[in-house]
Structure 1
Amino acid sequence: MTQGDGPALDAVAGMLARDMAQAPDRLFVLGICGAQGSGKSTLAGALKARMEKAGVASAILSIDDLYLRRAKREELAQTVHPLLRTRGVPGTHDVALGLEVIAGLERGEAVALPRFDKATDDRTDEADWERAAAGTRLLVLEGWCVGARPEADAALAKPVNALERVEDAGGVWRRFANDALAGTYQPLFARLDRLVLLAAPGFGVVRRWRAQQEEELRARAGSGIASVMDDAGIARFIQHYERLTRHILTEMPDRADLTIALGTDRDVRGIHSRR
């Protein structure tokens, strides 16, 4: 069973129906957090379809679509740390753009929704962005670090994997990401009305889930696309996300409004509500 049907969808839709009834005249922003491959996009799409069937104009924005353009990440790689060339950690997103989208929707405007093409590793042309309708009442903001909080400084001292140990021995990259998360990201996450966590059973499963995503990307993009990763590339890539993903799985369940515990095949093992 995927996150696009069954208990996960029912639980989130039920929470939304109750909460949105209390504030019928303003934009409601729902955050969905989860490790790569956990089913965030599937759940967001199914939720949008259900809410629109109920007459609620809805839109989806992935935090992945807010990644900085490749040229800007190249600049960060040269001025701050080479690992910032790779999209992923806080500090590689255009947070201000996300806040602009929300502000426009709050004004009741039709708003262009940014889109990032992972096959080309760059943002698409604005002319190709889809638009959220004027009067949109629900925005689903989904992404691997949506709603995350920074780690304590002391936790950054010890590398969590080979990438950090070899390529960030001085901790510059991980401290830059943590500082960004503590700074510009918090006003964006503060706008969330509710936060849902799709909780993987552990970080160990993320490599397999990410490999499945890459196969889907390869199928869409066609063979010969250089930026579609092989197994070795995936193994290295997910190390960029490991530190914060492990931190999220440890600290977020105690504060997420809804935590959906997943098994290794993304099956729902339990649902916990704080309300």
Structure 2
Amino acid sequence: MWIWEYSFSDQLRHPNPERPISIPRFDKSLHQGAGDRVTPDLVTNIDIVLFEGWFVGVRPVDPACFDQAPAPITTAAARAFARDMNAQLHTYLPLWERLDSLMVLYPTDYRFSKQWRKQAEQDMQARGKAGMSDRAIDAFVDYFWKALHPELFITPLVKRSDGADLVIEIDANHIPGNIYRAGTGG
């Protein structure tokens, strides 16, 4: 797995003008809204790469924080899962170190992510694409909150002085608010 990421990162940093780079793509409307990879784009002459994802840059936390974790990390099984996912973050640290800068779009309330995902699914369905039901979205988002809860992983990322290079707070209506450097508190 990591060989591909390093190779991909190296291709982006040192492109060969004779050889296009295959950029992965993801379509959230596939598999009734669960999404899947689709045919990659082949590109050349890249100036800027935005590497986007819900846990980009997050670092492992003290496993003791799962003893009193927020919902949905409320059962022994959920705490064990969260601890395991926390441990898995160590494998991502070398990739995070390769980022030139880290910008975080930081919802003023992490629970907006559930509302936004429901809106996105409804928009896809209105365009005739498949999407998840509200109940399926709740289960889907809860799974990711169990894995890497925003209050335990994203909030520290934007509060640490060695965290994100830029933090942009986003309100419920997707409007940018405060913009600041991590560790300065907004």
Q: TM-score range by the shorter chain?
A: 0.7 to 0.9
User: Equivalent residue for 1:181?
Assistant: 89
User: Which SS does the other structure have where 2:77 is aligned?
Assistant: coil
Contact kept in structure 1, 2:58 and 2:154, CA below 8 Å: no
Gap runs ≥5 in structure 2: none
The 2-side partners of 1:263 and 1:170 are apart by 29
User: Equivalent residue for 1:8?
Assistant: none
User: Which SS does the other structure have where 1:235 is aligned?
Assistant: helix
User: Which SS does the other structure have where 2:51 is aligned?
Assistant: strand
Closer, same or farther: CA 95–264 of 1 in aligned 2, 3 Å: farther
Count of matched residue positions in the alignment of Structure 1 and Structure 2 = 171
Q: 2:165 aligns with which of 233, 236, 257?
A: 257
For residues 169-215 of structure 1, the C-alpha deviation after alignment (integer angstroms, 9 at most, x for no partner) is 26332222111112x21111111111111110112222111111212
Contact kept in structure 2, 1:157 and 1:171, CA below 8 Å: yes
Alignment of 1:64-213 (within 5 A): 94-109=1-16, 110-118=20-28, 119-120=30-31, 121-124=35-38, 128-133=39-44, 135-162=45-72, 164-165=73-74, 169=77, 171-182=79-90, 184-213=91-120
User: Structure 1 residue 273: deviation in Å?
Assistant: 3.3
The 1-side partners of 2:4 and 2:128 are apart by 26
For residues 72-95 of structure 1, the C-alpha deviation after alignment (integer angstroms, 9 at most, x for no partner) is xxxxxxxxxxxxxxxxxxxxxx55
User: Equivalent residue for 1:233?
Assistant: 136
Q: Which has the higher contact order (CA 8 A, sep 6+)?
A: 1
Structure 2 length normalisation: TM-score?
Answer: 0.79
Gap runs ≥5 in structure 1: 1-93
For residues 8-49 of structure 1, the C-alpha deviation after alignment (integer angstroms, 9 at most, x for no partner) is xxxxxxxxxxxxxxxxxxxxxxxxxxxxxxxxxxxxxxxxxx
Letter in 2 for 1:207: K
The 2-side partners of 1:204 and 1:122 are apart by 24
The 2-side partners of 1:156 and 1:172 are apart by 9
The 1-side partners of 2:65 and 2:92 are apart by 19
Contact kept in structure 1, 2:108 and 2:171, CA below 8 Å: yes
Closer, same or farther: CA 98–221 of 1 in aligned 2, 3 Å: farther
User: Structure 1 residue 220: deviation in Å?
Assistant: 4.8
User: Which SS does the other structure have where 1:131 is aligned?
Assistant: strand
The 2-side partners of 1:98 and 1:116 are apart by 16
